[in-house]
Chain A
Amino acid sequence: MTNESVVHIHRMKDMPSSHLLGTGTPMCAGCGGLEALHNMYDILGDKTVFVNAAGCMTLLSVYPFTPFRGGFLYTAMASAPAGAQGVRDAMDIRLQKKLLSADDDMEVVVVTGDGSAYGMGLSATSGAMDRNLNFIYLCYDNEGYGNTGQQYSAATPHAAITSTSKTSHGYPGFKKDLFSIWAAHRPAYVATIIGAEPLDLARKIEKLRSMKGPRMLISLSPCPTGWDYDPKLSVEIGRLAVQTGVWPLKEYIDGKVVHTKIPKKDKTGKRTPVEEYLKLQGRFKHLFQPQRDEAGIAEIQARVDAYWDKVVS
């Protein structure tokens, strides 16, 4: 399957300023997930049905208020992609029976956090990709169960302190590579995005709009309450995640993975050190205080370097 795609967004001033998502939601100040959703919604437009799994974004719609100008359906923690299947199938039936005009058709978009996407919802997501469901999936990944107090999830990075990994070394495991797991299903599109890089995000959303089939997005979502930092730093932390190489911006399309933003190196050939990203966040404070944990920081740096060594020589 080849997917024709046309990208119109080249500069920041090409970005839509419609601000479709209503204001006054109970998300935390500086929510990186909301930032990504805002940007995405403006490009997709209001002909969208968001199918949601349990997470922070569930609280966007609390009766009788909703910020969505199209459709929204809450399902459950593990089965939002199955909900998307039901909505898509029913839309197709209504189109076929001429109960719905092609103009009134809507794009079905699953919105879940990493708890659902990396964990409980993975089976339903895998099934939806197996069936080549025509839908978009946005995972806002704040690397933990943020809505319930930042317990660790399968998306939690190594060494991060969470409310269930409070030891002096933080979370002992490593972040699951959901991008590769999703890409292994050979869906139409998989990409990583981040709200702090709106142009990269916008180009990807524009590209996938003109495609059919499963189009999968993981947005690293800086989380002031879960990652323990001042909300005003959300954009800076997001940018640093990309510049340090911690969060590679990439896309999988037609069987190939392409990196869309290679972190720049300085004159000495070094990327921005990961500690610039880590030191702004309370969840990594133990790497710097009371003593600097050189080995711990070096281990994280080495993993990031090893990743990029395979990508660019």
Chain B
Amino acid sequence: MITAAGSAAATGVRVFTATSSQGLLYGMEMVYTVAGWRAPFVMVNVSRGLASPITLESDHNDILAARDSGFLQLHCASCQEITDSVLMAYRLAEHKHVRLPAIVNQDGFYLSFTREPVNLPDAEKAAAFVGAFDPENIQFKSGAPLSQAMAVLGGGPYSYFRYEAHLALQRVLSVYDEIADEFADTFGRRHDIIESYQMDDAEYVFVMMGSFASKARDAVDSLRSAGWKVGLARIRLLRPFPKEKIRQLLSGRRAVAVIDQNLSMGMGGVLHSEVATALFGMNDAPAVLASYIGGLGGRDISQQEFFEMVDELKQACDKGKMLEPRLLYTQDELTEIRNLQAIAQVEHLEINNKRSKK
């Protein structure tokens, strides 16, 4: 499917496609391959936890497996934002300085199985906003010989083409704001690279991606009512990674909690590492950069947990300590899994007993 989408784009038409979770991983060979073709198109991914164990609810490990592919990545928190981001993604992907495919990511179940009102952009306005498709020199046509996606021999040409794609992807950062401005002027909704909520005087900041950030917004409101100076930075553009913007936004804050809805096995939260990379060496970097893993496989993040995270941040700052990475998980959840394991054990013993009687 991703091969067909990429091939159609390489033949000279505007393409949209969609996938989800295991499907994205099944097509991962082609995700990397078609990005190298430099034929822009837009793909929506519905993020879901990956097997094993197999599950149905949201989690970002699938989309993060495509992180280094060359696709640009927009992460959404609402259905309206998905609709709007698809239009914006065409402009970004097809920009003459970029020419790379784009993924618009939405969270499985929370944004894919539930319903919420969406203001659909007027078709004519949308067509005018994205403009006519220009395949540039990438198309198949008789009398115009063209071999695409061919092999190279040796690391020299390989490095050249790979680095060219990297530079092209980084150029999204310099064209994004202009496109977001135009979108806001046309449709009255603004979608920045990073959504900032209550950040002006925030001492403590949650950094997140995706729809769980709307729970964080609620929590920020409650925490502010309780007297905490808290804010939320929701990263929408993951690739290219907006390093500079993150530095500006987090400079001078007391402490930051990065909540990752993913788990890089043997390392920890992916977004935490990326934010740490952006902040390293900065003079007025936050003293504490804590890592929380939450929302794996759609596991809820409660208001109480947001309160506890901020409390931990404050204590760490006061005591001048770093915080160990933590998985958001309650005693009740542990009891529940222990109960399931107990049932499994009883069943197992019963089967064994029946066998031994025979």
Contacts and interface: CB of A to CB of B under 8 A. Distances in A.
Interface of A: 46-47, 49, 51, 58-59, 61-63, 66, 68-76, 78-80, 82-87, 89-91, 93-94, 99-100, 103-106, 124
Given A62-B150, A72-B150, A100 B4 contact: no
Contact of A74 (B13, B140, B145, B148): B148
Nearest to A70: B145
Residue with the highest number of chain A CB atoms closer than 10 Å, among B10, B140, B149: B140
Interface in B8-64: 8-13, 15, 29-30, 33
A103 B33 CA distance: 31
B340 interface: no
B123 interface: no
Contacts, number: 118
A69 B145 CA distance: 5
A62 B153 contact: yes
A103 B142 CA distance: 8
Contacts of B151: 58-59, 61-63, 74
A104 B142 CA distance: 5
Contact of B3 (A61, A83, A89): A83
B174 interface: no
Main secondary structure of the interface of A (DSSP, over half): mixed
Nearest to B5: A86
Contacts of B33: 75-76
B142 A106 contact: yes
A63 B159 CA distance: 13
Nearest to A82: B3
B334 interface: no
Given A63-B150, A70-B145, A71-B147, A79 B3 contact: yes
Contact of A73 (B15, B143, B145, B149): B149
Given A87-B7, A87-B11, A94-B11, A49 B140 contact: yes
Given A63-B151, A100-B141, A87 B30 contact: no
B1 interface: yes
Given A58-B151, A59-B151, A86 B142 contact: no
B157 A90 contact: no
B146 interface: yes
Contacts of A84: 7
B242 interface: no
A21 to B, nearest CB: 12
B265 interface: no
A89 B142 CA distance: 16
B295 interface: no
Given A86-B11, A89-B8, 13 more contacts: A66-B145, A66-B147, A71-B146, A71-B147, A71-B148, A73-B149, A75-B33, A78-B29, A82-B4, A83-B3, A86-B8, A90-B140, A106-B142
Nearest to B149: A74
Given A75-B3, A75-B7, A90 B13 contact: yes
Given A61-B147, A62-B152, A94-B13, A73 B7 contact: yes
A66 B4 contact: no
21 contacts: A46-B145, A51-B7, A63-B152, A66-B147, A68-B147, A71-B140, A75-B3, A83-B4, A84-B7, A85-B4, A86-B5, A86-B11, A87-B140, A89-B4, A90-B7, A90-B8, A90-B11, A90-B13, A90-B15, A91-B11, A94-B13
B231 interface: no
B6 interface: yes
B338 to A, nearest CB: 42
Contacts of A83: 3-4, 6-7
A129 to B, nearest CB: 15
Residue with the highest number of chain A CB atoms closer than 10 Å, among B5, B10, B13, B150: B150
A86 B4 contact: yes
Residue with the highest number of chain B CB atoms closer than 10 Å, among A46, A51, A79, A124: A79
B150 A94 contact: no
B142 A105 contact: yes
A76 B139 CA distance: 19
B137 to A, nearest CB: 13
Given A79-B3, A89-B4, A104 B143 contact: yes
A72 B147 contact: yes
Contacts of B15: 86, 90
Contacts of B1: 82
B107 to A, nearest CB: 28
| The 8 residue pairs across chains A and B that have the minimum distance between CB atoms | A86-B7, A90-B11, A66-B147, A86-B8, A72-B147, A86-B4, A79-B3, A61-B150
Contacts of B5: 86
A120 B141 CA distance: 30
